[in-house]
Amino acid sequence: MKVSKVFLAAAVVLGCVAIVLLFKGPLRVVPPVVAPDAWHRVKGTRSASVKIIEYSDYQCPACAVASKIIDEAIKEHPDKVSLEHRHFPLQMHPNAFRAAVFAECAGVQDKFWAFHDTLFRSQASWVKMANVDTYFRDLAMGLGVDGVMLQACVSSDAITNKIKADVAVGTSKGIESTPAFFIGDKRIVGSANLARELKDLLK
């Protein structure tokens, strides 16, 4: 009699679990967020002779122009030019930091550059939004980013701290505006100055 009651109780518990799974779908385990290393933000060959380190703000119009200049240089000189992107969201741009967070989280899923380029192309659509999270999430998922992992990531201190570290390093190097670049030890500010520098280096 006691054994039967035990089996009955176990059956009830298993039935409840089955009902929960039926309505909620399979359980998902979201892996812990680990901020990727800097190499996921490098475009072009690592052996390039012209290595550009860029401090950029996704809400900055001049940064969008600079992105096109660099892409053209890499396309025309794929063995000579590389770009390492670093974040420098300015306080005057209220959506820039959040854009950087979503870009980093897209990078966790190997979509950094796809999201980076899409952010600049769609810049006019989101710069004045009061709440950009939904827009950025839809943008990322449209590129194939997993929404559950993305949501866990954008709430992560690891990602926020990574962006703040970029800003701290940039500030220590004297950067006050964007876009700003380093090629070797030379600091270059502004997209027009970058274009002239690349023209001289790639003659």
Residue 18 reports pLDDT greater than 50: no
On whether the CB atoms of residues 96 and 119 are closer than 8 A, the answer is: no
Domain map (residue ranges) of the chain: 38-201
Q: Which CATH class is domain 38-201?
A: alpha beta
pLDDT digits (tens, 9 = 90+) for 103-145: 999 999 999 999 999 999 999 999 999 999 999 999 999 999 9
Angle between helical axes of 96-108 and 112-121 (0-180°, round to 10): 150
Tokens at residue 6, please?
């035990």
Residues paired with residue 44 on neighbouring β-strands, in sequence order: 82
pLDDT digits (tens, 9 = 90+) for 87-109: 999 999 999 999 999 999 999 99
E strands, 45-183, in order:
50-56, 81-87, 180-183
